[in-house]
Structure 1
Amino acid sequence: MYTIERQQHILQFVRKHKVVKLVTLTKEFNVSMETIRRDIHQLVQDKKMEKFYGGVKYMEPAEGLMDNRFHEQLPEKIAIAKACASLVQDGECIFLDSGTTTYQMTPFLLEKEKLTVITNSLPVAFDLIGSNIEVIIIGGKVRHSEKSVTSNDFLFRFDHLNINKAFICASGVSIEKGISDFNLEEAITRKQIINISQTVYVAADSSKFDKDVAIQVCPADAVNMIITDRGLSKETINHFTDKGVQLKIVSTNIDTE
């Protein structure tokens, strides 16, 4: 198992059980105490959990600034973004969400012909300036921390858009609460895009799974596919697929330990 994959499994296990002894983790993942300590050290550095004598405790996440999140799970985000871009055909009109994963799609779209990108992400729009891609940015209020634009029907006529494929990000993904986000205005914008798009993909790395945050965007089975990385446990994958949610798992090609 890849080191980063095992660490994601450990994080999911601790998230589920909240407080876990280190010896329990060695038995659960069939690795040495030294290996578990290295993994825990990395996860503690990443502020994913808190260590105490003989064990660890899960730390509930808070929404961080977009600039800080650009480098989190970067190999996974790039792999997911590349897989998303491969679904885009010449001549389509697509929506790119304001998240850090969909932002990574832009270099993989530059060779597409007659493509139109609708976005509420200022970084996405800036990256595509000067390309042969037509860019439409939705009108509304700028959310400074996310470098995004949030809107509603009063400010922007969403019903005028004809979107073939929408690529949506998420802060939380679970069967129970579906796709969720920290910010109400972002969630409302995503709901509107989902309602008018022909096909909807969620781009979310494995750290977002089995997690619910403040605002539900939509149920998990309301989207066509969730694209994620290999950090998901078999139990989580089965939990989603058994409920009819289609997952696409991509490899990051990270070297093993």
Structure 2
Amino acid sequence: MADASVSASKGQRRREAILQVLKQQGRITIQEMVERFDCSEATARRDLEQMEALYPIIRTIGGAMYDGMNTVRDIGFAEREGLSYLEKERIAAKAAALINEGDVIGLSGGTTNYLLAKLLKHRSGITVVTNAVNIALELAGSEVQVVVTGGIMRHNSFELCGPLGEGMVSHLNIGKMFIGVDGISAAGGITTYSEQEAQIAKAMIKRSHVTYAVFDQTKVGKTSLFSIASLEELQAFITDVAVPAELEEAANKQGIQIHVADQTK
């Protein structure tokens, strides 16, 4: 017990020291952590994973960045699931109405797409390509054909990310892609908190015929750190209320269709 306590204390001191470095220089790499704190790469990655849940840091490919000033936070799926739940249900229902038998659709992670998957599992003749483990599990046992990309799972979102998944997606053809976002604006397009999720989303959009940005009103006007796509790369929005004039004007200029969910759902 004493050894375990000492080990935990040492780990906590190391993570506090890592946080101080992040505050001072803004970012840190895995290699820098290994050299500076005399730990293994696996330990460094575990430290960042634990710190991401406690401190305002962003895990990036090969390290982390300090994000003390960013207002768009990366929160866990369970917490996000309870936010704007009724609005997300209505958005999911609107999205489901746009999916037909024979469609090959893509679903990124996110609570709205998870609710969409719940609706689709009662359908047949549909193929779903997803990088989200929880969405794949929700569709397990249904008549929907499920294609899961590879990659390393992010515990906050259950999304599989990384070169392995991106490589697989490059061989697929997706008809309708539904992308969940952390922020959307006229200038910034659609954005997300995670660099890894942004990369896999870009790969899926590239292989899709039509891309729908799926978002509730709380995401409008916000810009998170990592860009997924500009508005010109999108074909449609699915949201819960009419979007502000600036975003509507920008969408119209790009020929983007705006689908507003039924208020009675």
Do they superpose with TM above 0.5?
A: yes
Secondary structure class of the residue paired with 1:146 = coil
SS of aligned partner of 1:61 = coil
1:199 aligns with 2:210: yes
Which amino acid in structure 2 is aligned with residue 116 of structure 1? Answer: T
**Secondary structure of 2:156's match?**
helix
2:177 and 2:212 in contact (8 A); partners too: yes
Distance 1:146 1:154 in 2: 15
Contact 1:140 1:156 in 2 (8 A): no
Relative to structure 1, the CA distance from residue 155 to residue 74 in structure 2 (aligned partners, 3 Å threshold; closer, same or farther) is: closer
> 1:190 corresponds to which residue?
201
Partner of 1:230: 241
Structure 2: stretches of 5+ with no match in the other structure: 1-69
User: Would you say 1:71 and 2:47 are equivalent positions?
Assistant: no
Distance 1:65 1:110 in 2: 24
- The code of the aligned residue for 2:156 comes to S
Deviation at 1:244, TM superposition (A): 3.9
Task: Report the CA distance between 1:153 and its aligned residue.
Answer: 5.2
Where does residue 173 of structure 1 map in the other structure?
Answer: 184
TM-score of the pair, normalised by structure 1: 0.71
Once the two structures are TM-superposed, the CA of residue 243 in structure 1 deviates from its matched residue by 5.3
| Mapped pair 1:97 → 2:108 | yes
* Aligned twin of 1:248: 259
Contact 1:172 1:210 in 2 (8 A): yes
How many residue pairs were aligned? 196
Higher relative contact order (CA 8 A, sep 6+): 1
Instruction: Note if contact 1:102-1:169 (Cα within 8 Å) is conserved in structure 2.
Output: yes
Tell me by how many angstroms 1:235 deviates. Answer: 5.5
* Residue 151 of structure 1: aligned partner: 162
The residue type paired with residue 160 of structure 2 is: V
SS at 2:212's partner residue? strand
**Equivalent residue for 1:113?**
124
Answer yes or no: is the 8 Å Cα contact 1:89–1:112 preserved in 2.
no
Could you report, residue by residue, the CA deviation over 1:216-255 in whole angstroms, capped at 9, with x for unpaired residues? Answer: 111012111011111644555345435543321123338x
**Relative to structure 1, is the Cα distance of residues 68 and 150 closer, same or farther in structure 2, using a 3 angstrom cutoff?**
same
Is 1:213 equivalent to 2:233 in the alignment?
no
1:131 — aligned with what?
Answer: 142
Q: Do the aligned partners of 1:75 and 1:252 also contact (CA within 8 Å) in 2?
A: no
Q: Measured at CA, do residues 240 and 91 of structure 1 come closer, stay the same or move farther in structure 2, by a change above 3 Å?
A: closer
What's the offset of the Cα at 1:83? 0.8
Provide the C-alpha distance between the structure 2 equivalents of 1:247 and 1:152, rounded to a whole number of angstroms. 32
Write the letter of the residue equivalent to 2:148.
I
Match of 2:256, SS state, is coil
Aligned to 1:15: none
> C-alpha separation between the residues in 1 aligned to 2:151 and 2:140?
20
Residues 181 and 190 of structure 2 are in contact (CA less than 8 Å); yes or no, is this contact kept in structure 1? yes
Unaligned 5+ runs, structure 1: 1-58
Where do 1:28-67 residues align within 5 Å?
Answer: 60-67=71-78
Letter of the 1:150 partner, please give it: C
Distance 2:115 2:185 in 1: 23
Alpha-carbon distance, 1:146 to partner: 0.9
1:209–1:166: structure 2 CA closer, same or farther, 3 Å change rule? same
- For the Cα contact (< 8 Å) 2:121–2:138, is it kept in 1? no
Which amino acid in the other structure matches residue 135 of structure 1? V
Task: Tell me the percent identity.
Answer: 28
1:218, 1:154 → 2: CA distance?
Answer: 18
